[in-house]
Amino acid sequence: MNYNLFKMELYRYKNSMLIWLTLICGLIVLNMALFEIFLEEGILKNIEPLFQSTLFSANAQRLRVGN
């Protein structure tokens, strides 16, 4: 019963799922293609202070204390 229901739902929404799958795969490929440009432009260095914010540093401190 569950398999038949799953199969019917999958068939019913196949166009929507194909669109979302294509969109997500396209975004991943675009991200991979532009990653080297981000490195060259120094954009990742500008984002680095975000990772050193209080939330991230508190979690890192907690992990260090655990070791």
Read off the tokens for 2: 């569950």
> Mean pLDDT over residues 13-33, rounded?
92
| Dist. CA 59–CA 67, nearest whole Å | 13
Q: What pLDDT shows up at residue 36?
A: 79
Q: What pLDDT shows up at residue 53?
A: 67
Q: Is the pLDDT of residue 65 over 70?
A: no
CA atoms within 13 A on the CB side of 5: 2
CA atoms within 13 A on the CB side of 20: 5
Q: What is the pLDDT of residues 42-64, one digit of tens each?
A: 776 777 776 676 566 666 566 65
Q: Is the pLDDT of residue 7 over 80?
A: yes
pTM of the model: 0.49
